[in-house]
Amino acid sequence: MPAPTHDTNTDANRAIEALTVASKTAAKHRKDKVSTVVDPICNYAYQNGLDRQQLEDIVDVVTRKTDLDQTTCTNLVKNLYPRQSVSPQVVIRIVTGLGQGQTKPSLATQNALLKWLIAVLDVLEDPSVLSKLYGVLFNQLDVLGTRTPLCHLLSLITRRKHVRPFRIQQLLEMVHLTGHDAALVGLLHVFKDYYPDIIIGNAAKSRASLPAPSHDEWRQRLQAIQEADADRAEQLLSQPGGFKVVRRGAKRTKASIVPDVHTSHAGPSSVTLEEIDNADGLVKNLDKIELPNQVLAALKDPLFQKYLILNPSDAALRRIELWLESYLREVVDAAANGTPTPPHLSELLQGLLTYTQATKTLLSTAQVFLKSYLPLWNGDRDSDAILGLVAYCPIQNFQAFRKSILEPAEQAVISKSGTDDDYTRIITLYTQLTINWNLAANSSNGPSPPRSPPLDGDAAQNFALLTSHIHASILSLLVAYPPPPTTAITSTLHHYTTLASLSSTTTPLAIPPSHTLYTLLFQPSLATLSATCSLLATYKRAFESGQHAATLPRETTNAFNGYLMDVANLLWRNRALTSHDPNALACLCTPPLAARLNAYLTTLPPVPSTALPGNAGPVGSSNYVAEEAAATGTGPEYTLAALFGLPFNGLTAAMALAAFRRVEDEAAAAKAAQASSPPLQHHPPSYAAVRHPPGPVTQRSLHRVAKAGGLVPELGWKAYRVEVLRWLVARGAKGMRDFMFVTMKDLMREGLPGAG
């Protein structure tokens, strides 16, 4: 249920103000019908519920004598859906409005208000407020018109332990003294529903018997409104800065395996978590805080989690693990036997993940559970929670971890799940696991996390083994058939971008394998090409930082320089798939394969005519005059080495030509403006009207157009390609620009605008 917007809330407040005015104005003196105000209020209350102030304002209206008709009052009471818990002020205002008198509302309204109190009994902010008003309510029993709902309410109160049983006898004696025998029989029937020990005999039931229970529809609507508000409050309080115990309101009526925070038996010198409402309070009272009754509440409550982080308690941790051990054993047994798993498993796993993310430590019980459950898991149920817990497994002997946890998780997701996002979920797991293990490896010299297993082997070695496994797994996913979805490609790029930022003396910089990089580079997607170039630019900056460059193996540096050279040759230097330059790998294209591709090019149709337009027509003329015959299929720029550059590349060719057309259009507009301005001399200005012919822009075609008097004769080959990079950046593909800026020395010296 969406939260009420500011506008709808403001409109509701204005309508309530208008209702207050209308309630004090006689019907014949009102300008508009009262329904024009009441209907929007009721609709708003039904959809969003009423906040505390709105509820109090409406209750103030319906609990006094007004000029509103009975239908309007009843309609308002029926739509009093409180968004939060009902404050004691509202309850007191309703109770003080009961009885007979000139200022009291009608008995029908009082009946409706009493039934409303019965319906909201479970969402009172202070349930004891009605018990404190017991005497006031009891003294209203002489009003026959409200006796039935009042007896119902009193019967609910008398079930509380602090109300003495003799109250029932006093109640019956009082009714008997009033002389209303029929009412006495009705009251007996009322209390018999709550106290079966009362014997009535064969007396017929009267109309004063127990009223029908409140409509389930009204209660369900109330619960939906309060749960939606509780969700919004929980999301707000669950933020990392939350320093207040989460209260779920109406959610407490739902079966939940994770309890709220409640502390009983606090001593006079101790403080409970419920009393903390800010960071200062938590810090000042850290040593005085009493543990809540059920430590399992730490799985969801952010304040409890902060307390356990700042003040670790072995006893509390052990209590959590003992409970989890028993419950999770039932889960594993049920999965092994093919029987239904225990209820609330999803809620518990999500709570366990929330606790783990807050403390950055996976409980040993959870790791034991993963080893037993993952081979039985279907790869889909509670996937986010299960894979999230796997990502927080502490750094350990990689071979044992791979065999017991990582491989079962991979096989469950890829082989058993069969959903569209299998690859994406696995790569996301790799990324989070890499981050956590990298942090643990670089912190291995410090104190070990609580309850972490002893590390078998060097931390850096285990991290390197994990990285190698991920390299191989990602490559197998990328070359799988059918091809992975775009989300998996994006997740792969995100993984390696993250990996580029994790280098240290303990965990040196790890680059993607050559097959993975070139698989990404030749994906049929401009977004992927741009992101791959951005990834290489990120790695280039990491290499140039010099922090740990001396510790990198020489082969790693040479391989990365080969990546840079290949991409520069591919997109900028018209030397695609060649290995003549130092460290160049030719994008792993072998010479025999390159020869076959060049032979294939000779079989293609000729390049479109490179004719130049005539000079005689006006600016923008499209009349072209052929200068030479159509080129053959092996023209000077129709070669394999040039076909991947920005003007010819299938992903960028259209944008490259559009960028040049914009430059020509701007030049044409400037010349047209110059021609239309008053001349400084008596002879008319002369200007060229030659445009570039259709087809890719090349260094040779630029020279020919400039020689023929083109619109932009000053635009050189490099300047044109810079314009293409800017055009791509303006359309969201900035990766090529970033790569060229950190790679090409001439662009670095000139400082390509907007790069970096």
Reported confidence tier of residue 739, pLDDT bands at 50, 70, 90: very high
450 and 548 part of one domain: yes
Contact (Cβ atoms closer than 8 angstroms) between residue 370 and residue 392: no
- Domain count for the chain, please give it: 3
Q: Is residue 528 part of a domain?
A: yes
Q: How far is CA 18 from CA 57, 58, 168, 514, 698, in A?
A: 11, 11, 44, 72, 74
Q: Is residue 389 part of a domain?
A: yes
381 and 435 part of one domain: yes
303 and 393 part of one domain: no
pLDDT single digits (tens) 294-339 = 899 999 888 899 999 999 999 999 999 999 999 999 999 999 999 9
Q: Is residue 740 part of a domain?
A: no
Residue that terminates a domain, selected from 596, 611, 630: 596
Report the DSSP pairing between strands 624-625 and 612-613: antiparallel
Least confident of 74-88, 639-653, 667-681, 730-744: 667-681
Reported confidence tier of residue 412, pLDDT bands at 50, 70, 90: very high
Domain enclosing residue 56, as ranges: 6-163
Q: Which residues are CB-neighbours of 10 under 8 A, at least 6 positions away?
A: none
Q: Which two tokens stand for residue 219?
A: 């209660």
Residues of the chain with pLDDT > 90: what percent?
A: 43
Q: Which two tokens stand for residue 119?
A: 């319906």
Q: Is residue 352 part of a domain?
A: yes
pLDDT single digits (tens) 385-410 = 999 999 999 999 999 999 999 999 99
Q: Which residues are CB-neighbours of 64 under 8 A, at least 6 positions away?
A: 97, 103, 104, 105
For residue 260, the model assigns a pLDDT of 83
292 and 351 part of one domain: no
99 and 225 part of one domain: no
A 10 A CB-CB count for 154 gives: 25
Q: Is residue 197 part of a domain?
A: no
298 and 358 part of one domain: no
Q: Is residue 353 part of a domain?
A: yes
pLDDT single digits (tens) 200-209 = 444 444 333 3
For residue 215, the model assigns a pLDDT of 58
Give Cα 569 to chain centroid, integer Å: 41
Q: Which two tokens stand for residue 690?
A: 């030659």
Model confidence, pTM: 0.70
Dihedrals phi, psi of 613, to nearest 5 degrees? -75, 155
For residue 531, the model assigns a pLDDT of 97
DSSP for 45-88 reads HHHH-B-HHHHHHHHHHHTS--SS-HHHHHHHHHT--BSSPBPH
For residue 550, the model assigns a pLDDT of 62
Residue that terminates a domain, selected from 533, 566, 596: 596
Q: Is residue 520 part of a domain?
A: yes
221 and 137 part of one domain: no
Q: Is residue 299 part of a domain?
A: yes
38 and 145 part of one domain: yes
Please give the Cα distance from 628 to 610 (Å, whole number). Answer: 8
Please give the Cα distance from 196 to 189 (Å, whole number). Answer: 10
Contact (Cβ atoms closer than 8 angstroms) between residue 633 and residue 604: yes
Least confident of 352-361, 552-561, 622-631: 622-631
For residue 431, the model assigns a pLDDT of 97
Interval 35-63 mean pLDDT: 91
428 and 482 part of one domain: yes
47 and 154 part of one domain: yes
Residue that terminates a domain, selected from 147, 163, 179: 163
252 and 388 part of one domain: no
For residue 234, the model assigns a pLDDT of 57
492 and 535 part of one domain: yes
pLDDT single digits (tens) 657-681 = 999 999 999 988 888 888 776 655 5
Reported confidence tier of residue 522, pLDDT bands at 50, 70, 90: very high
For residue 755, the model assigns a pLDDT of 46
The CATH number given to whatever domain includes residue 129 is 1.25.10
